[in-house]
Structure 1
């Protein structure tokens, strides 16, 4: 049974309540909207300091436990509790989320300058970011499945407005498509949550993960519930063929919105597979692993090929993420502790590099309003800092040794090779594609002669450098000093892989046939 270690100070509840309250107040009180971005920036800095304090309060070597746990009765009649707690993985994801929020706020500082009332619009957008921040913390800290589901669905509200109201061309259509995909996944998962409760013990804390993980389910029921959860997480991840909402959304959303969406919120898919699917449905996870591994390999190759064929810069960046998420899912379901650790590390490394890619690409395209790759050429002569930071971010994304993406991708491939050499060989082809989808657009956009209409572009200013510099530093640190993060995540990966036993794929087939 999962151990829970209670906290004497409700730091997780405070991390949820503070941005939620500030966001609601800004949206409700018009005078606060004018100062909304300043308030939001201040709150986001306090949030970051609080979560850094939280990192000093847990035992990073303890496996299979929820720490900083809080449990309060909420709706005891149906077994729902306000139950929060973190593992090493969930706390790392919260740190990533809360570190990106201030950068996104600063990056968006001047994006509403052309609006009829710039300060009001900027304040409202900042308030939506705060609400999203609260739901991000709640999702990664939830120990109650019902609370997790509530946050999983509620986060769609601020995201819908961040995409539809504050995006560019076709933003409303993209927001609707994003909402429909996400709602469909959520409704499917709701059926699983309800079914899970039917089979769980009728207690005031029936939905606690540590209690549900002890529930013995008939295999067919377990498999059915697992499928509902996995579909929701595969949409969020995003995995082929449930990925089509992502390129449209990334092409229409603001760069900052895409940073939080792809850099953090899409990780809910892979996080849910690790934190919910594996402990709650171990037999079904093992049984379905071969199919999921196949889908992961398809995502790796398809995402890379699709990225190479893109003419829109933001769509290109989003398709690279489809390929990267394939590596993460492969590492989760191949049944190797090394690969699982690599998948968790990948979630963090990708969050950093993709954030930089979206922000820098946004700084490039906002000067012309065009996201078409063909509209640019010779930009390294005009904007050398922008070109250099884009290249470094891209190299980190495609796993250049010494940068953040290398260690997790290496761990996933090595761990996969020890279990399934053929799958590892296929995944390596995705590494080759990565070099193409990075270098080809770099050559088109940044090299060659400078067209006449490009020679007056400006390079990154101090505000923009401030948002990019921490991300570049993080890429280097994660690339050359990866041991602390690997050590922190290894206890979680060891506990998760226990569900696969010693020979996962053979056991999966045997388990399925015996049932």
Structure 2
């Protein structure tokens, strides 16, 4: 019997898909109206994602369908999809995926609303809004899929829309950046496909709930599968040293493209590493954990050192993502409850804060027509509100206690310390040094951009207008709320994280 909860779950994907179709079919002469329609569909989708936390009166808050609560979602929908191959259309939501589902709904809504009054290139806003909704379908589907083949399909849905967003509405070098994004992502997709087939053929099923804990997979299969998954998800995240597509993509992408890319699309990689990599191949995860930890700390240090020398605003924020994703990977690599929860809250915090940073960077670059730090000095003299928001986002990103960025980074270091042993203690110390370097490059950014006499590029800057306040205020409030009440993200993660770590050797 289909419940209201299951209808809500399917609607989370059906509504933005229908919205993209409706917007694409509207006449070109109604461009602004189409963007408003897209925003309405995005708003409905966001409301639906929030409602998933309370499926219906039968299930209540943070409770599960019949069965072991640690292994089952709050809501799931399963229907036979390709009977001959034993494939099911299986969707579900639990404490691991829910925060990212809501974040995706929120950021897509803010980006669609932003396009109503601010379209890069001065036109074709209808197409851009439709592409944002298609991206939402792919990203939400990835977070909700509970079948490996279905996960792979949704994982690939985002490829062409994001390519089109970068190539169609990006900067002067947008086509090269878009091609680089596609080539790297296709490489990761090939490895992911090989990993999926390796697991499905060996286990005889693609059901992620049945596969959790490595059920039906030999040690060798888990080693091979995890290696394939780890590299594939490292490309998407992106994790050092497979990150080189990211700065170009962010620099050339339009503002809304950068927000979606940094805010949620990158999280498909780290989420996949937790849900699929650690969940399906725990023996492989344990085998690769030391290497992952070393690569994570390398990403933290390299990202920070590059940022200290970076001279372009959007590239600096892009490289900062490499360091922040390094902290997420360090948490995952520890394979502890503390580490995985640090990774989960780090994912959400990075999405909120870096989404805000890219909104602000785009606004500054659109006004100044340059992203060079040397040309942006004295921003607080001409646009004090914009400078204040940039300072808030930067301080949140550097991990100030009381703001969202603190918990993921601090507890990734704590988890490495808890893991113990010379290697993990050394990694914890190096990661802490990377955290100090993060503070250094963000303070350098603020000194270069907000202080000193106003440069000609920022003279006559317009203040923050109403559409910008509407797009940015929710992210400011979330960065503060998550920092003060981390349970907003972590309240329902204990059981599923314990299930993932319980199968580890």
Shorter-chain TM-score tier: over 0.9
Report what 2:502 is aligned to. Answer: 498
CA–CA distance in structure 2, aligned partners of residues 278 and 288 of structure 1: 10
Deviations 1:197-253 (A, max 9, x none): 22122xxxx211123346423322221121111111001111111000000000000
Q: Higher mean Cα deviation, 485-494 or 376-385?
A: 485-494
**Residue-by-residue CA offset, 1:384-407 (whole Å, 9 max, x unaligned):** 111111111111111101111112
CA–CA distance in 2 between the matches of 1:306 and 1:8? 47
Partner of 1:306: 306
Counterpart in the other structure of 1:179? 182
Q: Aligned to 2:54, which of 53, 56, 66?
A: 56
- How far apart, CA to CA, are the structure 1 residues paired with 2:244 and 2:452? 33
Describe how 1:10-25 pairs up with structure 2 within 5 A: 10-25=7-22
Over 3 Å counting, the alpha-carbon distance change for 1:263 and 1:452 in structure 2 is closer
Alignment of 1:239 onto 2:239: yes
In the TM superposition, what are the counterparts of 1:97-496 in structure 2 within 5 Å? 97-112=104-119, 115=122, 118=123, 121-201=124-204, 206-213=205-212, 215-419=215-419, 420-496=424-500
After superposition, the Cα gap between the structure-2 partners of 1:493 and 1:125, relative to the gap in structure 1 and judged at 3 Å, is same
Deviates more, 1:187-196 or 1:492-501: 492-501
Does the 8 Å CA contact 2:5/2:52 hold for their aligned counterparts?
no
- 1:347-390 CA-to-partner distances (Å, cap 9, x unmatched) read 11111100110001111110122111111111111111111111
2 CA distance for matches of 1:175 and 1:452? 32
Distance 1:353 1:34, change over 3 A: closer
How far is the alpha carbon of 1:495 from its aligned partner?
Answer: 2.0
Q: How many residues align?
A: 489
Whole-angstrom distance in 1 between the partners of 2:429 and 2:458: 43
Say if 2:375 and 2:455, in contact at 8 Å, map to a contact too. no
Q: TM-score scaled by structure 2? A: 0.93
Unaligned runs of 5+ in 2: 64-68
- Structure 2 vs 1, CA of residues 452 and 74 (structure 1 numbering), >3 Å: closer, same or farther? closer
**SS, match of residue 168 in structure 1:** coil
d(CA) in 1 for partners of 2:132 and 2:485?
31
Q: Distance in 2 between matches of 1:137 and 1:451?
A: 42
CA contact (8 A) 1:398 1:434 kept: yes
| Cα distance, 1:491–1:294 mapped onto 2, change above 3 Å | same
- The CA distance in 1 between the partners of 2:166 and 2:329, in whole Å, is 26
Distance 2:242 2:362 in 1: 26
Structure 1 distance, partners of 2:93, 2:342, is 20
List per-residue Cα deviations over 1:473-496 (Å, max 9, x = no partner).
111111112234332222232222
Write the distance in 2 (CA, Å) between the matches of 1:390 and 1:64. Answer: 41
Give the direction of change, closer, same or farther, for the CA distance of 1:218–1:491 in structure 2 (3 Å limit).
closer
1:44 aligns with 2:46: no
